[in-house]
Amino acid sequence: MLEVRAIYPGSFDPITNGHVDIIQRGLRVFDRILVAVLENPKKSPLFTTKERVSMIQEIFAREEKVEVQAFDGLLVDFARARKTPVVIRGLRAISDFEYEFQMALMNRNLAPDIETFFMMPNVNYSFLSSNMVREVAALGGSVEGFVPELVVRRLRDKIQGSKKVQNS
Ligand code: PNS
């Protein structure tokens, strides 16, 4: 039988429980999910591409239907190169819609053979973003329950590390 593969692209700086929820939901619909981590030096991410990829790999270590890879350039080129005709994007709230709509239609113009699927995360995560997680963690707040345990620890290490550099 033909395997239906989907690509789930994002910055994942860091991956949150909202992203994990979308991947788990996606696995109910698609046979394999390729999580595509954007290499984006312009955004100066908190975690390096390698760190972001390895966190997601560790979280899904036991899920053989999930693969993680970094990409740069156009998403549709990467999706085509990996023979993955479906793009999954999460929609948390109406405020996400305009950007996502523009991106999906731009991608359709660039590659009419690639289809975007929108999925809604559990409502508990509808306010959650990697941005907010980074900010709360940097200011000493708790992000337990918002990101996987492994990410809580990596955030702590990263923030303590950057404080040591500042104080030295
Ligand atoms: O998690 P994010 O930052 O909202 O993800 C955005 C992402 C990575 C999906 C988007 O920026 C992207 O696809 N970038 C690759 C460049 C590209 O293909 N641009 C054209 C479509 S707008």
Q: What is the pTM of this model?
A: 0.95
d(CA 39, CA 25): 25
Decide: 103 in ligand 1 pocket, CB within 6 A. Answer: yes
Q: Look-up: residue for tokens 């033909």?
A: 2
pLDDT at 160 over 90: no
Query: How far apart are the CA of 168 and the centre of ligand 1, in A?
Result: 37
Q: Mean pLDDT across the stretch 157-167? A: 78
Q: What is the dihedral of CA 45, 49, 51, 54, to 10 degrees?
A: 140
Q: Whose CA is nearest to atom 7 of ligand 1?
A: 10
Q: What are the backbone dihedrals phi and psi of residue 97, each rounded to the nearest 5 degrees, phi first?
A: -60, -45
Decide: 75 in ligand 1 pocket, CB within 6 A. Answer: yes
> Burial of 15 by CB count in 10 Å (0-12 exposed, 13-18 middle, 19+ buried)?
buried
Decide: 106 in ligand 1 pocket, CB within 6 A. Answer: yes
For the stretch 31-77, pLDDT in tens is 999 999 999 767 789 999 999 999 999 999 999 999 999 999 999 99
For the stretch 23-32, pLDDT in tens is 999 999 999 9
Q: Six-digit token pair at 23?
A: 């991947």
pLDDT of residue 94: 86
Higher pLDDT, residue 165 or 24: 24
